[in-house]
Structure 1
Amino acid sequence: MHPMVKPALRRAWRDRQTVQFGMTSGHAVTVGPVDTATGGFLALLDGTRGLPLLREEARTMGLPDGRVDELVARLTSAGLIDDATAGGAQADALRGRAEAFDRLRPDLAALSVVHCEPGGGARRLAARRAMRVQVRGAGRVGATIASVLAAGGVGQVEVLDGGCTERWDIAPGGLGAESVGVRRDVAARQLVRRAAPGRPPRAVETAEAAGPSGTGEPGLSLVIVAPRDGAAAYAPDPVAAERWLRSGTPHLYAGVVEATGVVGPLVLPGGSACAGCMALGRADRDPAWLRMLAQWRSGRGGPVPACDIGLATTVAGLAAAHALAFLDGELPATTGVRWEVSLPLLDWRQEPMPPHPDCSCGAGGQAHGECASGAGEPQDTMAG
């Protein structure tokens, strides 16, 4: 073990004997009492030394035998210690790719704060490389989501869309001016390649991730539905989602419709509300909804859907962050919940999406807010 105090947490002395690690209330931890010698020793916990060398240095500083192990154990239990060598073989391989690893250092620092166990951040960051995500839509929202996921270390990011890039598809973080006239799927593939920290995984890596079948084609970890016309994310088509329900593929909706951005829900097949549940629930509340929806879907839309650039970038960033949290093993606040934000005030609000008892997806047999994993109701973590 090469222990280091998590570098993302800022350190400050509250008084002569008390150290606070972390600035924000969500992650701050105070440690005390800390004497002068121990305070000086903390600077040596930077990941460059193993425990034997740390014990030797502690003796030269006048610290009693056993103090190093006691201090490291104490800081570890408080979630303050990471291990510069932990995370397994995948993490070691990532560290060996210096250029890619340097690109991902800020992400690793953030993950180390969120996941308390030593090596937890490195393990999750390395695991992203073996994951496969499909983004359906290459407009201002979808292309930006794809580039963020690739930049965050997701090994395979596929983007599906038709037609050629138009000038109004261009967005910071998304498709650039050089993509105008190029097929959207081709332009998005080039965007993902540029955003990724290094080359995509080799076939042998993906074959290992696929398991015993060795097909080299791992299953989809997540589908993100981010159509250029955000109406299809606000009122998703249950028929289009049937394939993901049958295969058990989690999927997340995101988009901008008119002057409103939507992120969610994240659908866990059989565990949380699906597109069919949403359609049935809306029809229960508004008997005219299905009639109007049929008209909107069959009518010709405008040549350019409304999609404010600031709103689109906000939606894309939040959707990508929720997707990464899910890929890292969490159930984000979009699980069974849709978040909406509208111009001009941009106040976020949540709309729970309960499973519908008449939907064939099977989620309606569980209590509202419960998911297949047994997790509780998503909390209002984004309020304010």
Structure 2
Amino acid sequence: MKIKSRLGVYWRNRAALQIGTDPRAGVVIAGLSAREQDFISALTVDRSLPEITRLAQQHGLNTDRLYELLELLHRARVIDHPLSLPDTSSNSSPGTGSNSLPDTSSSPRPGTASTSLPGTGSSRLPGTAPNSLPGTASSSEALAASAADNLETGGAESQAETGDAGGMLAPVVGRHICVPRLDPLGVEIVFALALAGAASVVTFDAAPTGFADHPALLNVSQIGTGTRVEAMRGALGMRDLQLEITVTTDPLNTKTVATTRGRATAAEVVVDAAVVTAAGAINPLECDIFFQAGIPHLLVCSEDVDVTVGPYVVPGQSACARCVYEHRVDADPEWAYISPQLFTRPPGFAPLLELQHAALLAARALCCLELCDQQLRIPPPPGIPGLAVIRPGATCACTATDFPPLDIPQPAPLVSESPTVISDR
């Protein structure tokens, strides 16, 4: 048993743990001791009952308290592979039986009712569903309006109609796109870009292949025997897709050596747009390099429940990654403390079918302005994707065309030029 990999465990404050970041799937558990918080944090790895029992003993938890905590997690629906507990008279719960965890098939979803045990309590995450965060709006009308506009105009508007004088929103065909990370979502993005006719993909990812990589990469390269880039080239070749993959650390204009199906060529790489991928949430710091260079970039993220596509960030014209971050903080001030933990935890991605769906929609979004200030949220089946409006943050300067100079405070003037003597007496 373990806590679901897409949720994660976060220290909310000294007295509470948070499991997951989406109110539809996560909970806040309060009233835990420091040792109990450490114990639950260690359940992100799949363990058997003897292993969990031994772990509880190491954290000073008796059997009764262990079973209470496991029951709490089970009722909150945040664990995979529930365990059958041994028959203990002190652990039996009325109406649930003595040899298994309680049946939650008809219980409310986490957050809709309290799942309290002695000394603990779980509650819904602060804020509401992601589509209703402050600064966002979501409705079926918005999706219908977008579809109606496409029917009336016959698709995306022309560059003249959208004010795209610089041609930043031209179709993907023949373009050079940066996909910084070749994680499972990034790999699906590369496949979609190849199908859309992109000329090349630039990536910053020179890491070796690992057990959590996309199956298409592991079919080409065994774990640790090659890099993700090499495996990505092989995976494209196995699908008869022609796409140049370049490794670089400079998204602007760099000379590098690219390998296309085993043929080494010198290439001048000029990035037209970028697709930033992540699991859990997008780190705004990873988008700064594109924002400062004026490169349009699309945010695609596999969250706890949904996979999101957007917003499409046009620097100086539309909402950016910091706006999304700001809206999360407005909904829950503790997000400023939780998000750094989320950015550094091992990523947990949605099933491949959902990632493929998101990747195809991302390739489409690169061709038009449809997802500027908007986010397409793709729920698990049988849910239907919906649009959320992302407004520019109140304190974010992302839509300013002329950025003000940095206001660097000057040191305070000295009151006296005589040296200050500090006595140790």
TM-score, normalised by the number of residues in structure 1:
0.50
Q: How many correspondences in the alignment? A: 229
What are the Cα deviations for residues 222-250 of structure 1, in whole angstroms up to 9, with x where unaligned? 110123xx12xx3x222221111111100
1:165 paired with 2:212, answer no
- 149 and 257 in structure 1: CA distance in 2 versus 1, 3 angstrom threshold: same
SS in 2 for 1:339: strand
- Please name the residue that 2:184 is paired with: 140
- Please name the residue that 2:350 is paired with: 307
- 153 and 263 in structure 1: CA distance in 2 versus 1, 3 angstrom threshold: same
1:222 paired with 2:273, answer yes
Cα distance in structure 2, aligned partners of 1:295 and 1:142: 22
1:360 paired with 2:397, answer yes
Matches of residues 282-361 of structure 1 in structure 2 within 5 Å?
282-298=328-344, 301-302=345-346, 305-323=348-366, 325=367, 330-332=368-370, 334-361=371-398
Q: State the shift of 1:322 in Å.
A: 1.7
Q: State the shift of 1:128 in Å.
A: 4.8
5+ residue gaps, structure 2: 1-147, 159-169, 246-252, 255-265, 403-425
What are the Cα deviations for residues 288-345 of structure 1, in whole angstroms up to 9, with x where unaligned? 22122233335xx35x62421221221122212222x2xxxx212x211112122243
Q: Which one of 213, 217, 223 corresponds to residue 175 of structure 1?
A: 217
Structure 2 counterpart of 1:133, which letter? I
Matches of residues 99-118 of structure 1 in structure 2 within 5 Å?
114=155
Identity of aligned residues (%): 22
RMSD: 4.1
- Please name the residue that 2:417 is paired with: none
Aligned partners of 1:255 and 1:312 also within 8 Å: no
Structure 2 counterpart of 1:135, which letter? V
- Please name the residue that 2:298 is paired with: 252
Larger RCO of the pair (alpha carbons < 8 Å, separation 6+) = 2
SS in 1 for 2:201: strand
1:188 paired with 2:225, answer no
- 280 and 26 in structure 1: CA distance in 2 versus 1, 3 angstrom threshold: closer
Aligned partners of 1:153 and 1:196 also within 8 Å: no
Aligned partners of 2:272 and 2:296 also within 8 Å: yes
Structure 1 counterpart of 2:180, which letter? R
5+ residue gaps, structure 1: 1-24, 30-78, 80-112, 118-125, 202-208, 366-384
Aligned partners of 2:221 and 2:231 also within 8 Å: yes
SS in 2 for 1:175: helix
Cα distance in structure 2, aligned partners of 1:243 and 1:288: 26
Structure with more strand by fraction:
2
Cα distance in structure 1, aligned partners of 2:334 and 2:401: 23
Structure 1 counterpart of 2:369, which letter? L
Aligned partners of 2:172 and 2:193 also within 8 Å: no
- 179 and 220 in structure 1: CA distance in 2 versus 1, 3 angstrom threshold: same
Q: State the shift of 1:157 in Å.
A: 1.6
Aligned partners of 2:194 and 2:243 also within 8 Å: no
Structure 2 counterpart of 1:342, which letter? P
Cα distance in structure 2, aligned partners of 1:186 and 1:143: 12
Structure 1 counterpart of 2:221, which letter? S
Cα distance in structure 2, aligned partners of 1:196 and 1:222: 24
Cα distance in structure 1, aligned partners of 2:214 and 2:178: 20
- 313 and 129 in structure 1: CA distance in 2 versus 1, 3 angstrom threshold: closer
Aligned partners of 2:276 and 2:287 also within 8 Å: no
SS in 1 for 2:359: helix
Q: Which one of 299, 308, 313 corresponds to residue 267 of structure 1?
A: 313
Q: State the shift of 1:140 in Å.
A: 2.3
Cα distance in structure 1, aligned partners of 2:336 and 2:309: 22
- Please name the residue that 2:131 is paired with: none
- 146 and 354 in structure 1: CA distance in 2 versus 1, 3 angstrom threshold: same
SS in 1 for 2:203: strand
What are the Cα deviations for residues 192-215 of structure 1, in whole angstroms up to 9, with x where unaligned? 4565765769xxxxxxx99xxxx9
Aligned partners of 1:160 and 1:185 also within 8 Å: no
Q: State the shift of 1:346 in Å.
A: 2.3
Q: Which is further off, 305-314 or 157-166?
A: 157-166
Q: State the shift of 1:135 in Å.
A: 1.1
- 128 and 252 in structure 1: CA distance in 2 versus 1, 3 angstrom threshold: closer
- Please name the residue that 1:280 is paired with: 326
Structure 1 counterpart of 2:355, which letter? A
Structure with more helix by fraction:
1
Structure 2 counterpart of 1:331, which letter? L
Cα distance in structure 1, aligned partners of 2:328 and 2:378: 19
Q: State the shift of 1:261 in Å.
A: 0.9
SS in 1 for 2:324: helix
Cα distance in structure 1, aligned partners of 2:338 and 2:310: 22
- 167 and 291 in structure 1: CA distance in 2 versus 1, 3 angstrom threshold: closer
Structure 1 counterpart of 2:277, which letter? A
Aligned partners of 2:312 and 2:372 also within 8 Å: yes
TM-score, normalised by the number of residues in structure 2:
0.46
Aligned partners of 2:310 and 2:372 also within 8 Å: yes
Q: State the shift of 1:162 in Å.
A: 4.3
SS in 1 for 2:339: helix
